[in-house]
Structure 1
Amino acid sequence: MKLMPVELTLEQQESQTVQTAEVHNVEVQNAEVQNAEDHNAESEEWTPTPPPTDLIFDDGEPLESNRHRIAMNALIEAVTLAYEGREDYFAGGNMFIYYSSKQARNRDFKGPDVFITLNVDGTKERQGWVVWEEEGRYPDVIIELMSPSTAAEDLGNKKKLYEQTFKTGHYFVYDPFAPESLQGWKLGENFRYEAIAPDDRGWLWCSSLGLWLGHWSGTILRETATWLRFYDEAGNLVKLSFELAQQEREIAQQEREIAQQEKDRADRAESDLQQEQLEKQQEKERADRAEAALAAEREQKQKLRDRLQALGIDPDQLV
């Protein structure tokens, strides 16, 4: 059966027109909202403001080894000691760096083993480094402590990130179990990394810090290895706290030894003086005894002459 078209009343036509307009308005509003969300999503990449409670600062993953942990702490402590008295820098390690809201949402954690940011408030407490809370500042120096399982990432994706996104001035890598692994790069004028040539000692100069990075063989926290250490511009090792304490103990011991040596010399000098005085006294006493004996002899001779003369005998005439 063929259905015949139904003619709508004027009131029904007006109602249908209103409904159509409302649907159109809703569609326009939805489109505007979607455009606004898309625009916000694009702009949010560079101006993220997630609340601090949304950020994770600990993934619970340990460092590769105890040696890696010691190496990280030693480098951070050395910077702190090299910059003693300064409050215009921050040195951190094994802590997350948040640089975009997309990264934060994706839980794409980036936690360099060691990083230093200059010309910032060093007294501020930080759980991590949140770029948009640091006036857009990225680390000036990053050091990654490699291992066979991380080398490809450290030399690949991370290096690219630090070069192109962070634009970190100096980037170094080192495997605490492989001394020959030390490499470094400096951001060039074209904002691309250029390899830093080592000097005759195999050290790399970090102009951002005004320090050398080089090898040092010895024991730290009962672990003996070839460590990555900081040296000042003159080539002096930036000593760690335990080394400074040991140095102070050695200096104090040397001072005690010097003081004891001085005392021993003074005692010997006093003893020599006393011995000299004793010898002089003994010499004087010998001289006094000799003088007394001579005087007694003269007196005895004089008495004998007097007796002879009393007897009328000239002593000088006696043979």
Structure 2
Amino acid sequence: MVAQITPLDICWQPLPDDFQLEDEPVENTGQPILAGALRESLEISGFIQEQMLIASNFAICATVNGQFIAKAADWVYIPRVNQIVGDRTSYTPHLEGEIPAIVMEFLSQTEGEEYSSKRTYPPGKWFFYEQILQVPIYIIFDPDGGLLEFHQLENGHYELKQPDENGRHWIATIGLHLGTWRGTKEGRTGYWLRWWDESGNLLPWAVEMVEQERQRAEQEKQRAEQEAQRAEQERRQKERLIAYLQSQGIDPDSLLTDGTEG
């Protein structure tokens, strides 16, 4: 006998005041840094608009079959919310704005939850994002090994997508490429998720912009010094020429006068 699958009765209600989050933030100092770096480059480059919501480790809410559910994504991008709220602690799609366009999870020592398709209460994150929220793009990133999994919702299920020839994924809803990058930031050396624009230019972090400005200022200083040296060489060359002409009994000013006579 085939077991009957209980249909999902989904509605959208705000987070109750007394609700205790099931998903505690993972004790991994690298995850907040990874999430913050993703937002930082977007903000510096002017991609964040007022109506957008970009956050990490805060409750995304839904009520399924009469039971309230909240999951704390490591990073979430919502293109438009109905109201700008400071210090938002939770978000209910449809009730407060659009559904998340991108949800990311960073793998940690607590394995399995990111891939859990558990349907019964409380549902796994994979099932929650795919079947309840129906988030178009679900990204799973392994900061230690650098593996980036890009899952796109197609016909109601996530399909794993391959990167382009540069190892990046184009995200039309945000107008940028997403890929991995290895380097150091805030004392952490390893793999990072980074943004590239449509032309393939890496969106910089603040520290990189400061370094670029320092290099630009240094180059400008070198150009100014080279120009000053060139002017000084010309001045000395002119002085030597005047001294030579005078040693030959020639008045340099007369040469200038002769040269200007019509």
TM tier relative to shorter chain: 0.7 to 0.9
Which residue number in structure 1 is paired with residue 177 of structure 2? 212
Greater per-residue helix proportion: 1
The answer to whether residue 229 in structure 2 is matched with residue 269 in structure 1 is: no
Which residue number in structure 2 is paired with residue 256 of structure 1? 221
Which residue number in structure 2 is paired with residue 10 of structure 1? none
* Aligned mate of 1:169, from 136, 144, 153: 136
Query: Equivalents in 1 of 2:21, 2:246: separation in Å?
Result: 85
Which residue number in structure 2 is paired with residue 178 of structure 1? 145
Deviation at 1:284, TM superposition (A): 2.6
CA 130–176 in structure 1, closer or farther in 2 if over 3 Å, else same: same
- Contact 2:59–2:90 (CA under 8 A) maintained in structure 1: yes
* Aligned mate of 1:95, from 54, 58, 64: 58
Which residue number in structure 1 is paired with residue 80 of structure 2? 119
The aligned amino acid for 2:41 is A
Which residue number in structure 1 is paired with residue 257 of structure 2? none
Which residue number in structure 1 is paired with residue 162 of structure 2? 197
- Contact 1:140–1:208 (CA under 8 A) maintained in structure 2: yes
Query: Equivalents in 2 of 1:163, 1:81: separation in Å?
Result: 31
Which residue number in structure 2 is paired with residue 282 of structure 1? 247
- Contact 1:232–1:238 (CA under 8 A) maintained in structure 2: yes
The aligned amino acid for 1:228 is L
CA 244–98 in structure 1, closer or farther in 2 if over 3 Å, else same: same
CA 123–238 in structure 1, closer or farther in 2 if over 3 Å, else same: farther
Query: Equivalents in 2 of 1:254, 1:111: separation in Å?
Result: 46
- 3-state SS of 1:284 partner: coil
Which residue number in structure 1 is paired with residue 33 of structure 2? 70
Deviation at 1:137, TM superposition (A): 2.6
Runs of 4+ residues deviating >4 angstroms:
55-59, 101-104
For the aligned residue pairs, the C-alpha RMSD in angstroms reads 2.8
CA 276–64 in structure 1, closer or farther in 2 if over 3 Å, else same: farther
**What's the TM-score once normalised by structure 2's chain length?**
0.78
CA 115–69 in structure 1, closer or farther in 2 if over 3 Å, else same: same
Q: Specify the structure having the higher radius of gyration (Cα).
A: 1
CA 183–222 in structure 1, closer or farther in 2 if over 3 Å, else same: same
- Contact 1:170–1:208 (CA under 8 A) maintained in structure 2: no
Number of aligned positions between the proteins: 236
Superposition map of 1:1-319 within 5 A = 46-48=11-13, 53-55=17-19, 61-84=24-47, 86-100=49-63, 104=68, 108-120=69-81, 123-131=84-92, 134-135=95-96, 137-150=98-111, 152-156=112-116, 157-179=124-146, 181-188=147-154, 190-284=155-249
Deviation at 1:172, TM superposition (A): 0.7
- 3-state SS of 1:278 partner: helix
Which residue number in structure 2 is paired with residue 23 of structure 1? none
**Which ranges in structure 1 are unaligned for 5 or more consecutive residues?**
1-41, 287-319
Give the fraction of aligned pairs with identical amino acids, expressed as a percent. Answer: 29
- 3-state SS of 2:215 partner: helix
CA 149–162 in structure 1, closer or farther in 2 if over 3 Å, else same: same
Greater per-residue strand proportion: 2
The aligned amino acid for 1:256 is K
CA 113–155 in structure 1, closer or farther in 2 if over 3 Å, else same: same
- 3-state SS of 2:11 partner: coil
The aligned amino acid for 1:155 is Y
Which residue number in structure 2 is paired with residue 13 of structure 1? none
The aligned amino acid for 1:74 is A
- 3-state SS of 2:199 partner: coil
Q: Return the structure number with greater relative CO, CA threshold 8 A, min gap 6.
A: 2
Query: Equivalents in 2 of 1:263, 1:58: separation in Å?
Result: 67
